[in-house]
Structure 1
Amino acid sequence: MTRLSHLRDLYSAKGPFVTAYLDATRSTETGAHEVELRWRAQREQLAEAGAPDELLDALEPVATAPTGVPGDNTLVLVGAGTEVLFSSAVPGRIPERASYAPVPDLGPLALTLGQTLPYVLVHIDRTGADIDVVGPLGQSEQHTEVKGGEHHISKVHAGGWSYRRYEHRAENLWESNATDVAKQIDTILAETSIPLLAVTGDTRANELFQQHLGTRGKEAVVTLDSGGRAAGSDEQAVQEDVRQAIAAKVVRDTQDQVELFREQTGAGHGGALTGRAEVVGALQKAQVDTLIVTPDFDDDTTVYVGPDPSQIAVDEAELKAMGVDDGFAARADAALLRATIATDAHVIVVPKGRLQLQDGVGALLRYSDESTPSA
């Protein structure tokens, strides 16, 4: 379940907005040139839609610069006036599109964020650990190296009276180092509330580390099969294991909401609803607790919105009836997301086939009243 409040500032800016999803992959020798060509095509499209040259000039150096993200990646750009308001490289390829519109087109970005999580990755051995805090779009946010003591770090089979003494010292030192790593992780999780802790490396060090984790860490931890702390470890395999762990975690986290939605759309409940018009009506009253969409949610139907993101209606007449005379038309998916973020609601993306959602959208409600539709 994702709260996208960090995107709220984009809606407080004065539009219209350029939003661009640009394939920024540079995996071949001609990759940089190909990115420039793709941007040139998008720039022409945006200019034809009315985007001013000053704004496109501001976006261009960001669009054509290396993202620093290896492999397939998509650059998401939002700008207004003469400023770049948002830029982020998303792992993987999102279908390219660009628009110049009154509302930022953040639907594809929200879908991506709804299917991933921030995480902490720990490469651990018996001397300490490398700890990376990774944001939901795969961006590195913090790196920490924990170094423990290394004296008598390996058990020795010297025999005689000294054998047990050396063995005991080694085990104590391993445990001390693992405890230091666990303390660091507990601090990070307490400060960030990151829901996934992925650990790879030495088996015994990992066992000791997990024994000393706090409650939050024990709930979040997943042991990966691949990787290690030594140079030459297969980081590609680690990243694949991380992706699988994230996917499994997202499914687990959405299961409760899926079951609640099924229950609340039953006769006599009314705590959930589905359909574009019904969700719009709930957003008008800030009723929506969780917006529910499918991974292929892409609704270019026109709805009408006002200057305030919570001002949303299925047609112009309804918006005027709400007292909004300076409204404008917008894509439905962009407008629904705008109102969701403005009212501090969550967004979840459920795999196709798990729920039957009219128009590809549904909502769990904070409350229901006499006007709330019921199944």
Structure 2
Amino acid sequence: MASRAGSTGIDASLYRREGQWCTALVDVSLGTTAAQEAIDALPGHIGKLLGSQQATDTDIAALTQALLPADGHASPVARFVAVNNGEVVLDEVIDGLKVESADVDCGPFPNLVALARARGGQFPYLVAEASRDGGEVGLYHSAVKGVGESRDVTGDRDEAHHARKVPGPYDEPKNQANTEEIWRRNAEELAKQIEELARENHVKLIVLAGDIKARELVAGRLGAACKTITSVLDQHTRTGGADQNAFAAAVQERVDEVLGRDVQELSERVANRSGNGRAELALGFDEVVTALQQAQAGTVLVSQYQDDETLMALDAEPWLTGEDSTDHTELVIGSWPAPEVLLRATALTDAAIRYVPDGVLPEGVGIAALLRWPNTTEPAT
């Protein structure tokens, strides 16, 4: 999906689709005979679980057919599949997630909590490799293995070769100027592709490598918004002897730096809003529910998953209410574990959600929200 659950936001359109949803989070690791046998038995096992939850035959068929092993991925690895009215809407492989037993759910809206937890804080980024005769830019996601989209820029090799020919000493400046003009055009085209991919995918990082002259030309043609998120690697990757493992490690280091800065910034924002009567920060389960009901929560921060709480989901604003509430009874569609209802309300109020490590929230607080506007009265103590 365009906006991954649990990254900087959630695709609210998923919750607006009508009809029944079925989701499954399963282990699809390979590498041993037992793992292969488990994969072979998986469709039948999941089909029975779906049937016990009154899933339709169409939904069962669509979901079980998507339960493919994750070839080329190191164990552990999981697959998350969501089906709506017989259509596979989400099918994502999650590296590094160990699933002890299959988690299967059917209901009027998708249960995206497992995906959101696994994807929390992850982001899209670009890797651009420049050379004098062109280059390549790839779109990646920090939580997904492999390139999502790539674009090549290939200059005219014959033109470049002709430009570099030097018939005599008096022609050398002219030919050098022609060669550099070709390099500039290639750099402009690669910069254009970087700008387009960055804008379309809301990337948070651009890693630029390649020939030193070419990457300088490309960097100089990027707009201000892209320059601020560009990290230049002093590596010429488009040569036969390039160390691709070292290059991949250097890119991952830049990705980890962004993830670390993001958590640090969230921690600082929470600390900064904890004073002055805490007017711009909701702390604890009840305050966060109230903020979501008022569409006041800008970013919901979860460090403990509130699995022991339940909430009522509503089919219109304010989207959720407490189990014991007598308000909005005409809108109630059912009761579910709090993490599912909170995630849905977060999406439907255009807020973001982050699953954060210990230390970001005050001690003893499992959930909080950074508010879009301050409370007019101080929270109860």
Normalised to the residue count of structure 2, the TM-score between the two structures is 0.81
For residues 341 and 154 of structure 1, what CA distance do their matches in structure 2 show? 56
Deviations 1:214-266 (A, max 9, x none): 21221121234667124675555544443332232133244444322222222
- Which residue is equivalent to 2:19? 14
Deviations 1:133-164 (A, max 9, x none): 23565364432110124425999999977777
Instruction: Determine helix, strand or coil for the equivalent of 1:354.
Output: coil
- Which residue is equivalent to 1:229? 238
TM-superposed CA distance for 1:366, in Å, is 1.5
- Which residue is equivalent to 2:311? 303
Matched, 1:346 2:334: no
Deviations 1:85-140 (A, max 9, x none): 32222333253541324343212312333321111221222211112223565364
Matched, 1:58 2:66: no
Instruction: Determine helix, strand or coil for the equivalent of 1:200.
Output: strand
Query: Structure 1: where are the runs of 5+ without partners?
Result: none
Pairs within 5 Å for 1:317-332: 317-318=324-325, 320-324=326-330, 326-332=332-338
- CA RMSD across the alignment: 3.6
Pairs within 5 Å for 1:119-130: 119-130=125-136
Matched, 1:333 2:336: no
For residues 237 and 92 of structure 1, what CA distance do their matches in structure 2 show? 21
Q: Quick one: which amino acid aligns to residue 36 of structure 1?
A: D
Deviations 1:270-325 (A, max 9, x none): 1101211221111111111111123x64635322222337432232x21x323346
- Which residue is equivalent to 1:112? 118
Matched, 1:198 2:203: no
- Which residue is equivalent to 1:148? 155
124-133 or 183-192: bigger deviation: 183-192
For residues 344 and 168 of structure 1, what CA distance do their matches in structure 2 show? 52
Percent of pairs identical after alignment? 25
Change (3 A) 1:51 1:287: same
Change (3 A) 1:217 1:82: closer
For residues 217 and 162 of structure 2, what CA distance do their matches in structure 1 show? 14
Instruction: Determine helix, strand or coil for the equivalent of 2:83.
Output: strand
Change (3 A) 1:180 1:28: farther
For residues 33 and 213 of structure 1, what CA distance do their matches in structure 2 show? 51
Contact 2:219/2:227 (8 A) holds in 1: yes
Q: Please, which of 362, 367, 372 is the counterpart of residue 361 of structure 1? A: 367
Change (3 A) 1:34 1:201: farther
Instruction: Determine helix, strand or coil for the equivalent of 1:198.
Output: strand
Matched, 1:243 2:252: yes
Q: Quick one: which amino acid aligns to residue 143 of structure 1?
A: S
Change (3 A) 1:255 1:75: same
For residues 113 and 223 of structure 2, what CA distance do their matches in structure 1 show? 37
Normalised to the residue count of structure 1, the TM-score between the two structures is 0.82
For residues 42 and 338 of structure 1, what CA distance do their matches in structure 2 show? 24
Query: Structure 2: where are the runs of 5+ without partners?
Result: 1-5
Instruction: Determine helix, strand or coil for the equivalent of 1:185.
Output: helix
Change (3 A) 1:303 1:234: farther
For residues 319 and 205 of structure 2, what CA distance do their matches in structure 1 show? 36
For residues 114 and 282 of structure 2, what CA distance do their matches in structure 1 show? 23
